[in-house]
């Protein structure tokens, strides 16, 4: 696993040890950023179910100002911290060990708005539609922001969840990526 593009292009990333985390492949990561960017001038990113932190780190490499990383798994949190330390990204990142639900409440209380929200939950425990509802209800997405949902190709997400409309959906092997934006 590596950073695909931007200021940190080619730098290696550690994976979460064990089999509890399914990392986003470099091919899918590159495709995601080609759909949403590929580069940015500032803004905040939220990486829920962050795993190794690969997506939020890629966003930082491509110009996002700050990424917030959330995961419940202690091994994932340790891996994210190691990756951020190795890439000298501690000053532009926050890492929290908590559930997605608690994290969404916390960032809402802080009044944060995100340019990118990455949702890559375990494929067997998907709650993407309910999380999209919370993102809408808490107004967590900036006007020009995008929610990136990574999910099993077997899952079909709705075309619209409240004010969030699916603007694109692509399949990459067993993985699908669906993008949502404010309408």
| Whole-angstrom Cα Rg for the chain | 15
pLDDT in tens, 58-114: 999 999 999 999 999 999 999 999 999 999 999 999 999 999 999 999 999 999 999
Measured N-to-C along each axis, helices 54-61 and 74-86 cross at an angle, to the nearest 10 degrees, of 20
Residues 111-140, mean pLDDT to the nearest whole number: 92
Under CATH, which number does the domain 26-182 receive? 3.40.50.150
Asked if residue 182 has pLDDT above 90, the reply is yes
Output the pTM of the full model. 0.96
> What is d(CA 109, CA 159) in angstroms, rounded to the nearest whole number?
28
Instruction: Report the pLDDT value the prediction gives residue 124, as an integer from 0 to 100.
Output: 66
21-57 confidence digits (pLDDT tens): 767 888 899 999 999 999 999 999 999 999 999 999 9
Which pLDDT value is given to residue 19? Answer: 74
Long-range contacts of 151-157 (CB under 8 A, 24+ apart): 151/121, 151/123, 151/126, 151/175, 151/176, 151/177, 151/178, 152/123, 152/126, 152/176, 155/123, 155/126, 155/128, 157/128, 157/129
Cα dihedral 167, 165, 143, 132 sign: negative
**At 122, is the secondary structure helix, strand, or coil?**
coil
Residues contacting 130, CB < 8 A, separation 6+:
none
- What are φ and ψ of residue 20, in 5° steps? -80, -15
């Amino acid at each position: 696993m590596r950073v695909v593009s931007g200021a940190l292009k080619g730098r290696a990333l550690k994976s979460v040890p064990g089999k509890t985390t399914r990392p986003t492949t470099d091919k899918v990561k590159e495709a995601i950023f080609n759909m949403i960017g590929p580069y940015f001038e500032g803004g905040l990113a939220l990486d829920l179910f962050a795993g190794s932190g690969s997506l939020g780190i890629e966003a930082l490499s491509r110009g996002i100002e700050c990424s917030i990383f959330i995961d419940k798994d202690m091994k994932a949190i340790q891996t994210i911290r190691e990756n951020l330390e190795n890439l000298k990204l501690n000053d532009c990142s926050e890492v929290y060990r908590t559930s997605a639900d608690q994290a969404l409440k916390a960032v809402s209380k802080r009044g944060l708005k995100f340019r990118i929200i990455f949702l890559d939950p375990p494929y067997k425990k998907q709650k993407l539609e309910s999380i999209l509802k919370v993102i809408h209800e808490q107004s967590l997405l900036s006007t020009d922001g995008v929610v990136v949902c990574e999910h099993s190709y077997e899952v079909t997400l709705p075309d619209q969840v409240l004010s969030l409309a699916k603007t694109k959906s692509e399949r990459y092997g067993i993985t699908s990526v669906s993008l949502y934006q404010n309408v």
